Amino acid sequence: MAKDNPSKGFRVVVVGSANVDLEVRVPHWADPGESVIALAAERFPGGKGANEAVAAAKAGGVPTAFVSAWGHDTDGKLLEKFVKKAGVDITAVKKVDCPTGLAIVMVDPHGANVVTVIPGANERVHLTAQGAELISTASVVLAQLEVPVATVLDAAQAARAAGAIFVLNAAPMVDVPRELLDAVDVLIVSEHGAHELAKQQFGMYPSDEGSLLRALQRLVKSVVMTRGAEGAMVAAAGQDIETVQVLPVEPIDHTGAGDTFNGVLAARLAQGATLIDAARAATAAASISLSRPGAGPSIPAAAEVAVALSTGQVPPPSD
Ligand code: RIB
């Protein structure tokens, strides 16, 4: 589904959030008013935007830039090291005088999570002239909704002006203006998010997944619905709906698996893959992420994704 722009600079530009995740392993979910003692706690680099940018860059051969913001604090330094190590260009990341975004991520013994984000610097992410310049030569622009919606809309319009594919991961779900949806080429949404979006836009949602996807295609021509352990359903414009299965895996931690999916999908689209082929590679990468702890540290390298795609198995960590 390439919209080719021959004067490439950064092929993928991710516009979005950066957080440090305080990840707390809990023995079970606390009921309201109940306290539980954590099994372990660790700080990891994360944030949907940072995770996606790193996933796209690690997918291999796709120069990736990030438009974001973090503080001058130690969390900002941790994030800078994380994205730079993956080769992501950060010239359009602003350092601002407020705390870096922080996410409190609770993970249960099955790897399921509950996340609360304290946005901090993410509220100051705007599309600066530098960010717009990066987008003007991009093939794919990827955004989520952890930064101001006005910024995402600016990115979508800049992508459209550049002839780039604009991919929106509608997470976390907020009120999504129709003007933004009109500028989206590929919508990625969780099953829960798909229901919420359909309810928001149409006042109701169909009960079966296929009809839900077809309804969302009235908003955006190509829709990918991610379904956790059930894999993903892909409704590409003018095509039958296809399902992509997660590889066999015992999930350790769901955090960052969706972002890994989005980043790898964006990178593959930038390389000219069809949406279904991009979703296959993205699902293999997300399966690997599920088998590893943390968001940022769970994002696989291109070689690991290649092994997963050829063997149908999740490889063990290579480092
Ligand atoms: O999608 C996972 C991410 O969501 C975490 O890294 C956390 O920071 C939140 O943004």
Q: How many CB atoms lie within 10 A of CB 98?
A: 16
- Evaluate if residue 183 carries a pLDDT over 60: yes
Q: How far is the CA of 47 from the centre of ligand 1 (A)?
A: 4
pTM: 0.95
Q: Which two tokens stand for residue 40?
A: 């372990």
Ligand 1 pocket mutation, candidates 259, 298, 299, criterion most atoms within 8 A of CB: 259
Of 146, 182, 177, which Cα lies nearest the Cα of 262? 146
Q: What are phi and psi of 42, to 5 degrees?
A: -150, 150
Rounded to an integer, what is the distance from CA 245 to the centroid of its chain? Answer: 18
Of 38, 211, 191, 176, which Cα lies nearest the Cα of 109? 38
Longest Cα–Cα distance of the chain, Å, equals 58
Indicate which atom in ligand 1 lies nearest the CA of residue 19: 8
- Cα-Cα-Cα-Cα dihedral sign, residues 145, 150, 153, 157: negative
Exposure string for 5-38, b = 16+ CB within 10 A, e = fewer: beeebbbbbbbbbbbbbbbbbbeeeeeeeeeeee
Q: How far is the CA of 158 from the centre of ligand 1 (A)?
A: 25
Domain boundaries, the chain: 12-18+48-100+126-311
Q: How far is the CA of 240 from the centre of ligand 1 (A)?
A: 32
Calpha distance 263→53 (Å, rounded): 6
Average pLDDT, the chain: 95
* Peptide linkage before 251 cis (omega within 30 of 0): no
Residue nearest to atom 8 of ligand 1 (CA): 47
pLDDT for position 306 = 97
How large is the average pLDDT for residues 201-210?
Answer: 88
pLDDT tens, position by position, 7-30: 456 799 999 999 999 999 999 999
- Evaluate if residue 6 carries a pLDDT over 50: no
pLDDT for position 292 = 96
Q: How many CB atoms lie within 10 A of CB 273?
A: 18
Residue nearest to atom 7 of ligand 1 (CA): 47
How large is the average pLDDT for residues 75-94?
Answer: 98
pLDDT tens, position by position, 149-170: 999 999 999 999 999 999 999 9
E strands within 174-259?
186-190, 222-226, 232-235, 242-244
pLDDT for position 9 = 64
Distances (CA, A) of 245 to 6, 20, 93, 228: 34, 30, 35, 10
pLDDT for position 7 = 47
Ligand 1 pocket mutation, candidates 78, 107, 115, criterion most atoms within 8 A of CB: 115
Residues with CB under 6 A from ligand 1: 17, 19, 21, 46-48, 51, 103, 105, 115, 117, 146, 255-256, 258-259, 295
Q: How far is the CA of 261 from the centre of ligand 1 (A)?
A: 13
111 with 298: CB under 8 angstroms?
no
pLDDT for position 230 = 87
Query: Does residue 203 come out as left (phi exceeding 0), alpha (psi in the -120 to 50 range) or beta?
Result: left
Residue nearest to atom 2 of ligand 1 (CA): 256
How large is the average pLDDT for residues 163-182?
Answer: 97
Residue nearest to atom 9 of ligand 1 (CA): 47
Q: How far is the CA of 45 from the centre of ligand 1 (A)?
A: 9
Contacts of 201 (CB under 8 A, 6+ apart): 176, 178, 181, 219
Q: Can you name the CATH fold of 12-18+48-100+126-311?
A: UDP-N-acetylmuramoyl-L-alanine:D-glutamate ligase (3.40.1190)
pLDDT for position 229 = 83
Q: How far is the CA of 103 from the centre of ligand 1 (A)?
A: 7
pLDDT tens, position by position, 236-291: 999 999 999 999 999 999 999 999 999 999 999 999 999 999 999 999 999 999 99
Q: How far is the CA of 258 from the centre of ligand 1 (A)?
A: 9
Q: What are phi and psi of 226, to 5 degrees?
A: -90, 140
- Evaluate if residue 1 carries a pLDDT over 80: no
pLDDT for position 199 = 95
- Evaluate if residue 319 carries a pLDDT over 80: no
287 DSSP 8-state letter? H
Calpha distance 12→207 (Å, rounded): 35
How large is the average pLDDT for residues 287-300?
Answer: 97
Residue nearest to atom 10 of ligand 1 (CA): 47
- Cα-Cα-Cα-Cα dihedral sign, residues 144, 147, 148, 150: negative
pLDDT tens, position by position, 94-124: 999 999 999 999 999 999 999 999 999 999 9
